[in-house]
Structure 1
């Protein structure tokens, strides 16, 4: 297994993996242009896992200067239970720490039981003291 920072050239394979992964919801911001902006703004923080040149895992991360935000962790179904997701998270957290970010958040869908179990196994704690509100500036789908 090879791991490297994600590049915009990985977009087509990544979007296909996300579409094939239960628990990953895609929105307008996941357009090629949106992902390109995200990667440019957060260099070296998003990762891919490759098996024989095929992208079999992804994780994306960014930060606001004090907190990291992780999203789109996905591993191809035929490559699960091999430690790929854990390694992607570790690479991501190490890159965030090198950027001076020590606390990170991940948002998962309430219906994503596999995701919830995974993050719990890694020691992440569910927050019950905050609610998430979203807004799309200029219209669009507010979910």
Structure 2
């Protein structure tokens, strides 16, 4: 792939329809209410310059995405995805690097991410990049604050 066929840019709300379409096509990804337009707008507004999308000249829509943000202490990577046909080209690595660089520039020194338990491809990818699986030491609890199982 030549550099002129791939373009990586900061994610904007204009990317939201393509973002949702890619989520629907990507195995191992679950769409929740928090992926809706308004929630994505809040996330991007609260974490400017930390989320990125990749577009390829020969593909309609985005071929990759990485969303990142922080709470002032810790960073979080979310929705790191690459279209299956474009995997193995370093797109995810580049998207993640840009997000991590932005988090570090904001003073964030540690970053977390979640994957679905059955997403073995994601587990292999993150371990390949040097991320540690901390399931043995961390138990995650969640609580839905509204009467909606898709929250």
Preserved CA contact (<8 Å) 1:23 1:109: yes
1:19 matched to 2:24? The reply is yes
Distance in structure 1 (CA, Å) of the matches to 2:112 and 2:92: 16
Provide the residue aligned with 2:92 in structure 1.
85
Q: Does 1:131 align with 2:139?
A: yes
Normalised TM-score (structure 2): 0.90
Trace 1:53-68 onto structure 2 (pairs within 5 A): 54-68=61-75
Gaps of 5+ in 2: 1-5
| 1:36 alignment counterpart | 41
User: Whole-Å Cα distance in 2 between the matches of residues 50 and 94 of structure 1?
Assistant: 20
Root mean square deviation, CA, Å: 1.3
- SS in structure 1 opposite 2:79? strand
Correspondent of 1:48 among 41, 50, 53: 53
Aligned mates of 2:13, 2:139 — CA distance in 1: 32
Q: Which runs of 5+ in 1 are unaligned?
A: none
TM-score under structure 1 length normalisation: 0.95
